[in-house]
């Protein structure tokens, strides 16, 4: 029973991630445009050429990669905590009914 509930929880989380990944988000601020999805994945970062010095381009690309990796780690941590809390809630809530 607990395995079924955990399986359903995992399936729900996967579905939620799929839905979040399909929601497009874009934000612009003073010549900087960031695009991504509601799952927190940055897919594009553009900076108006007037703001960008050529020697800074590689640093900005590295910054975007860092933001992307940070976002992935944050989402993974959030999913892990959600699964643990659900497991604790289900285990604690039903554990005494059968024992």
Q: Which helix (H) or strand (E) holds 59?
A: helix 57-94
Q: Is residue 46 within 8 Å of 33, Cβ to Cβ?
A: yes
Chain Cα centroid distance, residue 58? 25
**Does 96 have pLDDT greater than 50?**
no
Q: What was the pLDDT predicted at 5?
A: 67
pLDDT digits (tens, 9 = 90+) for 14-59: 888 889 889 999 999 988 898 988 888 888 888 888 887 777 778 8
Nearest to 41 by CA among 61, 18, 60: 18
pLDDT digits (tens, 9 = 90+) for 55-65: 777 888 788 78
- For the entire predicted model, the pTM comes to 0.56
């Amino acid at each position: 029973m607990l395995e079924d509930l955990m399986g359903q929880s995992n399936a729900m989380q996967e579905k939620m991630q799929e839905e979040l990944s399909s929601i497009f988000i874009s934000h612009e601020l003073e010549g900087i445009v960031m695009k991504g999805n509601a799952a927190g994945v940055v897919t594009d970062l553009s900076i108006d050429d007037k703001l960008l010095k050529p020697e800074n381009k590689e640093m900005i690309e590295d910054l975007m990669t860092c933001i992307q990796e940070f976002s992935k780690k944050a989402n993974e941590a959030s999913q892990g905590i959600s699964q643990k809390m659900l497991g604790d809630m289900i285990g604690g809530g039903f554990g005494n009914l059968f024992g």
